[in-house]
Copies of this chain bind each other. A is one copy, B any other.
Amino acid sequence: MIDFEPHYRRVEQLIYAWARAIDEDRVEHIAELLFDDGRYTVKSRFNHDRGLPLAVIDAQSAAQLRDRILSMRKANVYQPQHYRHMLSGVHIASGDDNTFEVTHNFLIVRTMDLSGDMKIFATGQCHDLIVLTPEGAKFKERLFLFDSRVVETLMVIPL
């Protein structure tokens, strides 16, 4: 059995860095953390468990993710809001010397800038494929499975 401990911190901190970029309104940065041919998918647990393909976001490259973020910045009309990511239970489920399957739980609180309303926007589990490179750790795949289908129609900012 491989001991993942020497790699745990880098894996965990990569996951934290993604969340921090979004919370700090530097969402463009997340595309830098995804391989060019990486995949970023946000989907309901309900659809995933039934093998249904429908996803809220399914970017099949870093370029597609950049487009999505650009559209959020330029085209979408939505109330000013921001997220706060709470992440828990980072677990390296399997891997070899430099590629790891990792899961963790997320809870995102959304605050509306004008009214100050706070609410739990999404909870769920994230499944990642993370690769260590000489330049640092990066995501090959991110699959966010959120718990409540109510989220689907409301998502503007990536998770």
Contact = CB atoms under 8 A, between A and B. Distances in A.
Contacts of A86: 86, 88, 105, 107, 123
A120 B118 contact: yes
Interface in A36-50: 46
Contacts of A124: 84
A99 to B, nearest CB: 20
A64 interface: no
A19 interface: yes
Interface of A: 5, 8-9, 13, 16-17, 19-20, 23-24, 46, 82, 84-91, 103, 105, 107, 109, 111, 113, 116-120, 123-125, 147-151
